[in-house]
Amino acid sequence: MTYELNGMGTTTFFPLDTPTSGGDTLYLSTTAAYNALSPIFRQKLHSLSAIHSGVQQYNVTDGEKRHIRAPIETVHPVVTKTKSLYVNRLYTKKVVGLKEEESFYLLNFLFDHIERGQDWHLRVHWTPGTVVVYDNRVTQHSALRDFKVEPARTRRHMVRITPQGERPLFIETSEQTKNGL
């Protein structure tokens, strides 16, 4: 969750039950998506940050702010130190310092670029015994809802084990971004 100060680290994902057809998962590399951008465009992203919010995940009456400010271009905090895009359609809400419409168009360009680039996607078809281990800091995933939830053997029941990861570099907390939304 990009709105957490310390997001998810290395993740293990496997099925307990799978439908007879469909129910695959798409994985994508935000590092490869970043590298596919032109050097000039990447340079422009270098100084930009965005607000990430998880308010839709929580009871908004709990009074706790659920947003952070993070760079759009981030560096892997542990081993590789490679750059990647740190945005996603669910939680990235606004580019700091841009007008609303500029932020909207830039973020939607990046979301579409990440989601539509076939060169950095992997589709996993789940069978008994399939296990996927991935680095959640630089990987996004999405379940394909292409199966019916009716008779037996049509449910998709998965297990995800995810330890807390390191804080991405240059993250600012909600208190520092009070006026960012």
- C-alpha closest to that of 111 among 90, 97, 96: 90
* Residue count of the chain: 181
> What is the residue extent of each domain of the chain?
10-174
Q: DSSP secondary structure string, 84-97?
A: EE---TTTEEEETT
Helix (H, G, I), strand (E, B) or coil at 46: coil
CB contact set of 170 (below 8 Å; sequence gap of 6+):
49, 70, 71, 74
Q: Looking at the whole model, is its pTM more than 0.75? A: yes
Are 86 and 30 a contacting pair, CB within 8 Å?
A: yes
Percent of the chain exceeding pLDDT 90 equals 38
Q: What is the pLDDT of residues 101-150, one digit of tens each?
A: 999 999 999 999 999 988 999 999 988 889 999 988 889 988 887 766 66
Domain boundaries 10-174, corresponding CATH code: 3.60.130.10
